[in-house]
Amino acid sequence: MNANENQRILYAVFENGIQLPILDITHPLFNASIDEQAYHLNCLKSVRSIESLKKMPGFIQNIFVKMSNVDNSYFSGMRTLLYKLGPNLSRGIKLGFRDKWEVKQTSFMGLRIRLRDLCQRQSKILQPQLKQFPERNLCFFNIAGGAATDSINTLILLQESEPELLRSRKIEINILDIDTYGPNFAKRCIDVL
pLDDT in tens, 112-148: 999 999 999 999 999 999 999 999 999 999 998 899 9
The larger pLDDT score, comparing residue 167 to residue 36, is at: 167
The DSSP secondary-structure symbol of 139 reads E
Is 141 in contact with 174 (CB distance < 8 Å)? yes
The length of the chain, given as a count of residues = 193
Does residue 49 register a pLDDT over 70? no
Burial class (CB in 10 A: 0-12, 13-18, 19+), 37: exposed
**What predicted TM-score, i.e. pTM, was given to this entire model?**
0.79
Does residue 70 register a pLDDT over 50? no
Q: What is the average pLDDT score of the chain?
A: 83
Look at residues 155, 192, 189, 193 and name the one whose alpha carbon lies nearest to residue 172.
155
CA separation for the pair 161, 8 (Å, rounded)? 19
Q: What is the pLDDT of residue 99?
A: 60
71 confidence band (pLDDT: 50, 70, 90): low
Q: By mean pLDDT, which of 81-85, 106-110, 156-160, 169-173 is the weakest?
A: 106-110
The DSSP secondary-structure symbol of 56 reads S
